[in-house]
Structure 1
């Protein structure tokens, strides 16, 4: 690539290259799907040298320009539910409910379930509705639940196939339902196309997507979509064993069939502990309001992690509590000593980790996958206190970004989509200004644990590229890197908390092509 010439695309704005912590007025020239040149005002560079008659110019004013964003934890499979779910709110008569479900099921294979949401958990299903559903839907699985997916009602077919428990349903409990939906390639294509469109509109060009087991039904469709150029989002798949043990044969086959830079196999994700609200996160000092209910199979998980690593694959350990994080650092540090290669083993969903273990994770070259939008799980500080109260004063250690930065550990941003849809402005609002969804409190919650703006930008760009093993091709804006860009309508590095919430993505570029123009 020559050092000068005509660019296909020239973008002006406040440029964050990722090579340092600053964002300065400047420009990025794109040619042949790569970054051809980057310059900043006052450095003697000349953007006009790259402008020709065929060059597309995008002037973002003072809008932030950075590398395309990477979400290091999505669960796109969950979006399949939207394709088979019917909102029953306001539907009264049995035949009206059945008619709505029948319309949703029309034209789909008989084994694909239909789900009705908005059905009150304490509302019994009348015999008449059961009869009508049997008459109109026959052997199709039918599930009705409320907005929180609690107290599901299942027809006999669904009960035999899924046997969903009462109470809140984690995605793992829905694995057989997801697998049945994925048998319809039309629904898979529709779900992934919708998700891709939304992600690109948010500046996200690549994800590490968690899949259950061997991604039943969906993976052949995704390969076909990539082959036909219908799926542009970069995806790295992390297999989470749910219905059976980790499948090394699947991992080998998925690796061999990878489409480099587009659809690749990343490794395995193993669940270690639970969550704070139900006291199943494994904590070093227990809980403020009662004993820990964590039940961790340390021996089995260690054996699985070591077998996965020994077979040449990357290991991610999902941890919430600080005791689980300490154990995970022990295991992954041991793996790193035994297999001193450049695989990016990680701690996933990290919420609470002791400073000593942050330092150990940094020394072992581990990646922490965190949720910068974490505080936006809660409407306000009162709701947060109701959930975090089980930790007492130690709640201030949740998502301590300042401690992570001090330890020098690699950090990558994730969302567990659809828990959150990724948003860099909201991540800054929550992680830097420490605000909840209502915008409070004034001054932020626990400011000493706040992230810097640069740290959040890095978590979405250079940190994500490092976690994906793509730091030589992505994550920074410099000559020769992939021309993946996220361009915002304002300088996010100069925004206060209120203005951040008005920010939007103005342009997303993937491989040098504009894939979103807001």
Structure 2
């Protein structure tokens, strides 16, 4: 038995299946919680000295007890808004999407702006970018802002352009584009940092922001997510609400720990202030984030060699490489951790080059700089993650963005030569790299079970291809669970207090309705959380489980 102290426990959780996160197997036993810490881990008999008159005891049979999930990459307020808007993922055409927006808008007549998400022209029949005129036919008098599926572009109607004062004379912002027709008129599509021209659209009323945030916290608790990393930066935008987060923390209503990131843009004055002001156990500044490229499906991910289905391009960087390198070196010099969006192998290499340049200039330290996504990698760069101490932050669900494997755009974009190096999760693990999982919510759902299923099977939703896409990159359930707990705690510089079930660590613990290590992998997606404990308090109890003595 491992013990921190011998005081009486507030809670004791017992099960035939406890996954501590240290090894590969679950073991029978129990976990004692005193105040907000784990006080002991051992057999149920070992718990007897910890049982007092007020100790609550929960017994869970064969259901799995494990550390809480820690999502390493989300956009909190964007995700909260997503669930309060029209979802256009199922639209098969521009016209159909506009009709869906109109139907939704009619149910929300008092909303100042009509927001929507997840349209994707790549999967439409015509595969062309949409035009403001289509939205104008349905909604001529209300401003509309619709994020595409990647949140790297937005579709607006004429009323929105008018309110934002975007005209033919409006110049493109740095690293962005106002799409214009052959006559020089805006079409209604804003790409990358041009979305920042719509900042005022996101000045939501306080009542709505609070409702959205509360809804997110409840969803996270229901999914067993006890910590998150909230990425404020989007191309051209920063969406976060620290005042609201802190208010919830002070009232004891923060149901998940929030580690947040602001923009890496060459200005370190604000990050210095945020680092000083936000350093609590539940709300803490965690670093700086920037985009190196876009995404492969729209040919905006930066590749080393040209796209296999478009030999005229290999994509490009969103920001000049020398500029990004300078920003990374300056941030590293002042002790900031940097996280870089890099989907293409060219962007991954650029990110590693920037981090290596920072080490060469500033000296080696435990910086835990991070590359985000890594949807494809060049084999020459695989070992550099471990060599440079760079964390691989990956979101397995992205590999199945298309519903069927046949519609997987990556097959044509990357071609056969690069295909074996897509989402190289096992390769990176075996190279000694630290791997941390997240969802990129709301680009995909917040559900950790979907990410685990995808990493373990590498199947699309049509159960294809047989054996999984690049089956040699499949990982075990235990490895996936560690990537969502221990790996993310390490990524947060908090492995001393989070990520595993050990005495002395913070009591962020969940109970699942089944033992993921024993069930058929196809059942992983149907799993549910029964109990979520964050900081020693029950924040979600699915079945109102009563204590058993």
TM range (shorter): 0.7 to 0.9
Q: How much does 1:96 deviate?
A: 9.0
Q: Does 1:187 align with 2:189?
A: no
What does residue range 52-451 of structure 1 map to in structure 2 within 5 Å?
52-79=52-79, 81-82=81-82, 85=85, 100-105=107-112, 113-115=113-115, 124=134, 130=140, 133=141, 142-143=143-144, 151-155=155-159, 157-160=162-165, 165=179, 166=187, 172-177=193-198, 179-212=200-233, 215=238, 218-240=241-263, 245-289=265-309, 290-296=311-317, 297-337=320-360, 338-384=362-408, 386-393=409-416, 394-451=418-475
Distance 1:460 1:179 in 2: 35
Does the aligned pair in 2 maintain the 1:146–1:152 contact within 8 Å? no
Question: CA, structure 1 residues 507+299, in 2 after alignment: closer, same or farther (shift >3 Å)?
Answer: same
Q: How much does 1:474 deviate?
A: 0.6
> 1:47-103 deviations in whole A, cap 9, x for unaligned?
3333333222222222222111111110113135347746899998x9998764433
Does the aligned pair in 1 maintain the 2:386–2:433 contact within 8 Å? yes
Distance 2:263 2:51 in 1: 48
Question: CA, structure 1 residues 312+161, in 2 after alignment: closer, same or farther (shift >3 Å)?
Answer: farther
Does the aligned pair in 2 maintain the 1:355–1:403 contact within 8 Å? no
Distance 1:91 1:360 in 2: 46
Alignment RMSD:
3.3
Does the aligned pair in 1 maintain the 2:7–2:50 contact within 8 Å? yes
Give TM-score scaled by structure 1 length.
Answer: 0.85
Q: Does 1:9 align with 2:11?
A: yes
Q: How much does 1:128 deviate?
A: 10
Does the aligned pair in 1 maintain the 2:301–2:343 contact within 8 Å? yes
> 1:251-297 deviations in whole A, cap 9, x for unaligned?
11111111411111111112112221222322233322223342221
Question: CA, structure 1 residues 170+19, in 2 after alignment: closer, same or farther (shift >3 Å)?
Answer: farther
Distance 2:98 2:306 in 1: 46
Distance 1:201 1:184 in 2: 26
Distance 1:325 1:147 in 2: 23
Distance 1:374 1:98 in 2: 29
Question: CA, structure 1 residues 4+195, in 2 after alignment: closer, same or farther (shift >3 Å)?
Answer: same
Aligned match for 1:33, one of 28, 36, 45: 36
Give TM-score scaled by structure 2 length.
Answer: 0.81
Q: Does 1:460 align with 2:484?
A: yes
Distance 1:398 1:478 in 2: 35
Aligned match for 1:471, one of 486, 491, 495: 495
Question: CA, structure 1 residues 32+84, in 2 after alignment: closer, same or farther (shift >3 Å)?
Answer: closer
Question: CA, structure 1 residues 512+127, in 2 after alignment: closer, same or farther (shift >3 Å)?
Answer: closer
Secondary structure (helix, strand or coil) at the match of 2:454 reads helix
Question: CA, structure 1 residues 182+49, in 2 after alignment: closer, same or farther (shift >3 Å)?
Answer: farther
Distance 1:121 1:11 in 2: 56
Distance 1:193 1:173 in 2: 30
Distance 1:457 1:343 in 2: 24
Residue ranges of structure 1 left out of the alignment (5+ in a row): 106-112, 134-140
Does the aligned pair in 1 maintain the 2:508–2:536 contact within 8 Å? yes
Aligned residues: 494
Q: Does 1:498 align with 2:516?
A: no
Q: How much does 1:416 deviate?
A: 0.9
